[in-house]
């Protein structure tokens, strides 16, 4: 969840004008506890208990050992279509569970054409 905190608090990332939300299999209670502990206030935390969202965006192809999505970022356009997607959590993609915000900002900015 530190990634969410840093995205929420980074002015350069915020200047991209993209909405951020976090989707996880964790229960609402687990997510709320983590949000309270880390000070997440500006990013919606959504529960994907039935895995429908993860399946719809095909992120389970990179599932970690537990069967959960790794660390995937998706940029969705105004029509709801994937404009950019990067997974970092799967072993074949580096196994990262934290991506420097500056790196994400640069990649998303390029995807936006800015």
Residue pointed to by tokens 């580096």:
94
- Which sign does the torsion angle of CA 70, 22, 77, 107 carry? negative
Cα 49 from Cα 85, distance rounded (Å): 22
Percent of the chain with pLDDT over 90: 76
Query: How many residues in the chain?
Result: 114
Banded pLDDT at 55 (limits 50, 70, 90): very high
- Higher-confidence position of 3 and 78: 3
Domains of the chain plus CATH, in order, are 2-112 (3.40.30.10)
Contact between 104 and 13 (Cβ < 8 Å):
yes
Banded pLDDT at 67 (limits 50, 70, 90): confident
- Which sign does the torsion angle of CA 24, 3, 61, 53 carry? positive
Contact between 45 and 31 (Cβ < 8 Å):
yes
Q: How does the average pLDDT of the chain come out, rounded? A: 92
């Amino acid at each position: 969840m530190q990634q969410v905190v840093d995205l929420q608090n980074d002015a350069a990332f915020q200047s991209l004008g993209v909405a951020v939300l976090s989707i996880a299999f964790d229960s609402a209670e687990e997510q709320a506890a983590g949000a309270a502990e880390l000070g997440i206030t500006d990013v919606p935390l959504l529960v994907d208990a039935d895995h429908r969202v993860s399946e719809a965006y095909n992120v389970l192809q990179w599932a970690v050992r537990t069967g959960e999505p790794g660390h995937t970022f998706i940029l969705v356009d105004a029509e709801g279509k994937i404009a950019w997607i990067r997974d970092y959590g799967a072993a074949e993609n580096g196994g990262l569970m934290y991506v420097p915000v500056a790196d994400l900002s640069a990649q998303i900015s390029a995807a936006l054409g800015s």
